[in-house]
Amino acid sequence: MQHSPAIRAESLFKRFGDFTAVNGIDFQIQRGECFGFLGPNGAGKTSTMRMISCVSPVSSGTLSVYDMDVRSSQRDVKKVLGVVSQADSLDPDLNVMQNLLSYGRFFNLNSDVARDRALEGLELFQLADRANAMPDHLSGGMRRRLLIARALMNEPRILVLDEPTTGLDPQARLLVWDKLNLLKSRGITMLLTTHYMDEAAHLCDRLVVIDHGEVLEEGTPAEMIRSHVGDIVFELRVSHTDKAGLIEWLNVSGIDGHIEDRADSVLVYPRNGSLSLDDLPIDGYQVTRRPGNLEDVFLRLTGRGLREG
Amino acid sequence: MTVLQAVVPAIQRTPVWGGWRVWQRNRDAVLRAWKVEFGGVLVEPFILLFAMGFGLGPYIGNMGDLTYAEFIAGGVLASYAMFHATFDATYGAYLRMESHHIYEAMLFTPMEPRDIVLGEVMWGATRSVISASAVLVAATAFGLVLSPWAILAIPVAYLIGLTFASLAMVLTATATTIGAMNNFFTLFLMPMFYLSGTFFPLERLPIVAQELAWLLPLTPATSLVRGLMTGQITPWMFAWAAELFVFAVASLFLASFFMRRRLLK
């Protein structure tokens, strides 16, 4: 039997006065998949996430979570969601354990059930020895893990993560990814927003690239890389003064591929596998041959780098 | 058991239930720091009643049948109930909302803005009861409680707390900076404290000022508590309680409306 999608959006809009943050997007998130919103700051990722979480009214279009309309069934929608927002909203007046228990009460959990789940969550997120600590005394990585553990208190069917690893050091980030992969393997549906391409590639089964409130592309990370970048990328690191000359050389040499100008390097995306290192003017340049990645996809689609912010 | 099974789900569907969850959060937070939170609340009424009643009182003489200390005890209790509810629902609530993002976290659960407002108001009223109890104990210790009716000052303090916490939440829901709270205190609460019959009978004021004073919620609050503590019971008390109740309900709806508009953007 075909299940209805976990989340379905049709021509979804979010406007703030004259500003349109989400400009008529459509997407469906299937049950059990990890779905990513990939885009720069200000692309409309957070606005979409907040509409799904029922904390921001939909301007127009339809948006449903497990066939429940977010406009009319807020409480029921919120019961099946676990949300980790960008703001660090741990309660500074309560200790780690109390943070979880208090959150459980907002879902009307029986106190025994809440205690069991809190202990389980602390164990899973490697915080069991910090149960009595105050949040202010935790590291950034621990706080983030606690936020995720807190979002799991109601055993949500969908975990919504808004930039789950932004601001974490690489080690803390890997630990968060590890936990998220574990949750994924247990079958929870995940929706995450990120502006890290490697994060999207690492975690997402399927993703949309959005910018200026519109969906630019939808697919699996591998599909996107294959159709927009190809398997191989040559990256020539070049000084600013030499760059123009190199690009000209590449253009006249008739290389069968796309040439792209990046800040400190020139990229060559061969149209097929025929290009080899020998075809490139490797003398004097540091040339890397690497697989295409989502960052390449993103830059090809948007035609520019990530926005500052 | 079967009665509970029938009643609890019905209660859980009411807005009070969500408010109670928010109330529990505030209770837990305060209990972690109860020495800091309640030390001053419990000590200050003794100092105030001592200073005013025994220091100032002899120079003022009697107010009708009452000594000055007996006269002000009710007003002090009502004002304390007002101040403690208001402090928490202004500075406290604003801090929880803006600096600590606690409301944001609550909104990602089934809690709605109206639950948050109601919980904060119920908590403010609880603080009123705690401070009023301290005043009542101090007043009893100084022999200023003249009637057993005084025990009703505790539920009345809860009503006073509901009224002022609701008013304060209207401000919190609309304030753009924490500085807005200062004006509320200097331009509204403190003048009311001086002009609502706490320290002298309202009859001393020009008639227009008296009428205006009755429009301020601290006036019926003070009259109610003073009547209960001195045993001067009148049917007017129902009207005074009704005035507080109307203020509370109207402010609660207004605060919920503004809070919804502020939080769900």
| Angle, vertex CA B97, rays to CA A115 and CA A93, nearest 5 | 40
Residue with tokens 């099974």: B5
A contacts of B17 (beta carbons < 8 Å): 108
Backbone angles phi, psi at A264, to 5 degrees: -120, 15
Q: What is the pLDDT of residues A147-186, one digit of tens each?
A: 999 999 999 999 999 999 988 999 999 999 999 999 999 9
Amino acid at site B155: P
Largest interatomic CA distance in chain B? 64
Which stretches of chain B drop beneath a pLDDT of 70?
Answer: 1
Residue with tokens 């408010």: B19
Residue pLDDT tens, chain A, 309 long: 568 999 999 999 999 999 999 999 999 999 999 999 998 888 899 999 999 999 999 999 999 999 999 999 999 999 999 999 988 999 999 999 999 999 999 999 999 999 999 999 999 999 999 999 999 999 999 999 999 999 999 999 999 999 999 889 999 999 999 999 999 999 999 999 988 888 888 899 999 999 999 999 999 988 988 888 888 888 888 887 778 888 888 878 777 778 888 778 888 888 766 677 777 776 777 888 888 888 888 887 876 544 433
Q: Do A95 and B32 touch (CB under 8 A)?
A: yes
Question: Model-level pTM greater than 0.95?
Answer: no
- Cβ neighbours of residue A303 under 8 Å, at least 6 residues apart? none
CA distances from B61 to A60, B58, B65 (A): 70, 5, 11
Quote the pLDDT of residue B93. 97
CA distances from A7 to A160, A193, A234, B49 (A): 11, 15, 39, 62
- Name the residue of chain B whose CA is nearest to A52's CA: B108
Is residue A159 within 8 Å of A183, Cβ to Cβ? yes
Q: Which helix (H) or strand (E) holds B218?
A: helix B218-230
Q: Do B28 and A98 touch (CB under 8 A)?
A: yes
Distance CA B28, CA A307 (A): 43
For the purposes of burial, counting CB atoms within 10 Å of the CB of B177, is it exposed (0-12), middle (13-18) or buried (19 or more)? exposed
Distance CA B202, CA B198 (A): 9
- Name the residue of chain B whose CA is nearest to A91's CA: B102
Quote the pLDDT of residue A308. 38
- Cβ neighbours of residue B200 under 8 Å, at least 6 residues apart? B63
What distance lies between CA B2 and its chain's CA centroid?
37
Distance CA B104, CA A90 (A): 10
ipTM: 0.91
Write the Ramachandran bin of B236: left for phi over 0, alpha for psi from -120 to 50, otherwise beta: alpha
Sign of the CA dihedral A233, A237, A241, A242?
Answer: negative
| Nearest CB partner across the interface for B110, out of A79, A91, A92 | A79
